[in-house]
Chains A and B, each alone.
Chain A
């Protein structure tokens, strides 16, 4: 079965540079979430999109922005990178659904490991 695809898998940048991470959700999933996971930490929610509109916002720095495109893929844009931005960035997707008995299980992509030097 198709899974969430993220690219690139690894990215090395220098301080003050910019980076763009891409996420391709599972086909027919309408919700995309971005998480940041630092070493030894739990995933921290950054931002989510439902049907191409921002649906929720977490601890996303102002230097970061994201959007979801018409084909449902999403991009996380990171500018003025800092050393502390080095982390695993996960994208997850789910199908929102509307009726009882369904639940919004999130399927996680393999992550992008960002290293800022």
Chain B
């Protein structure tokens, strides 16, 4: 079976740093993706990890530990526009569909 878990909601202050965790148990693993989704809009790609370690991309970084089935998304210098849902998605095998986590709704306060 496949199971992905994320915190439901998080709140942070503008300019701060926030870490959103994701744990997963899947049959097969071909990478973990983070997507941002604003309400009523399509998910947009943020990052991809397939090997252990940290991937940095501007204000966003993502970390993966395959042995622990764990990833996190790190958002720095938070801006109001970062208020959105952040979806962790695992690709089981190459070319296959994503299994999405429940998403973490992040609210950035002034």
Interface residues, chain A, with chain B CB atoms under 8 Å away: 31, 33, 41-45, 48, 50, 55-56, 58, 88, 90, 94, 96, 103-111, 113
Additional 14 contacts, C-beta under 8 A, given A55-B95, A56-B97, A106-B33: A33-B98, A42-B100, A58-B97, A90-B43, A94-B95, A103-B30, A103-B48, A103-B50, A103-B91, A104-B95, A105-B33, A106-B98, A110-B41, A113-B40
Bound CA span A55–B94, Å: 11
Interface residues, chain B, with chain A CB atoms under 8 Å away: 30-31, 33, 35, 40-45, 48, 50, 87, 91, 94-103
Report the minimal beta-carbon distance from B48 to chain A, rounded to whole angstroms.
5
Beta-carbon contact of B95 and A103 below 8 Å:
no
Bound CA span A96–B91, Å: 12
Beta-carbon contact of A45 and B97 below 8 Å:
yes
* Chain B: CB-nearest residue to A101: B50
Residue numbers in A under 8 Å from B30 (CB-CB): 103-104
Beta-carbon contact of A105 and B43 below 8 Å:
no
Query: Can you name 18 A-B residue pairings with CB atoms under 8 Å?
Result: A33-B98, A42-B87, A45-B100, A48-B96, A50-B95, A55-B95, A56-B97, A90-B42, A90-B43, A103-B30, A104-B31, A104-B95, A108-B42, A108-B43, A109-B42, A110-B41, A111-B41, A113-B40
